[in-house]
Amino acid sequence: LIGRHLVIPTPGAGVSASNTAFSSTGSGGSVAQASFCSGASFYQGPAGVLPALLQGEPGVLALRPVIVHWAAAYGVAPALVEAVAWQESGWQQDVTSGADAVGVGQLLPATADFVNNDLLGTNLNIASADDNIQMMSAFLAYLIREVGNDPCMVAAAYYQGPAAVTSYGVFPETQQYVRDVIALEPRFG
């Protein structure tokens, strides 16, 4: 995407201590704060000023109360859900990624199945904006329980997967994704 920073690993680089962004506490999912995020403020503009593209789309902006509702229902900061959704899809339900991630939250079908079957015991439809946002919010709440309440680590686990974050640390390309989300979060606060 235009403006997106790409990180191209050097051949044979693999995962090493130098690109691991946290240390596991070994307590079954709780991890230390992401060092690449500690004390950083990535957004320098005024808080609460929505992205211009969102302001110009009343139909898309109409999803905001839905996002706020489901975020509150699962105890997740609405600004985090909004920022992740903006980074993932620009709040567009009709987009599908090359990896088959669907909708506002760009949920993979396997993630939707996990949320429906293991977290909620529901039959929500990934193709419905309301259901997609509910599943996204429930999944973010699950990630908070898995990796702790550090927004950087939650965003990393959303992008990379909680098992990979816990096992291997935060990959460099994930760090950029996280920085983008954290930069967006104050705009929705």
Q: What is the SS3 string spanning 8-73?
A: CCCCCCCCCHHHCCCCECCCCCCECCCCCCCCCCCCCCCCCCCCHHHHCCHHHHCCHHHHHHHHHH
Assigned token pair, 5: 């920073």
Annotated catalytic residue 57: no
Answer positive or negative: Cα dihedral of 172, 20, 113, 148.
Answer: negative
Q: How far apart are CA 63 and CA 82, in angstroms?
A: 10
11 CB burial (10 A radius; 0-12, 13-18, 19+): exposed
Which listed residue (88, 146, 173, 185) is catalytic? 88
By C-alpha distance, which of 22, 37, 7 is closest to 185?
37
Catalytic residues: 88
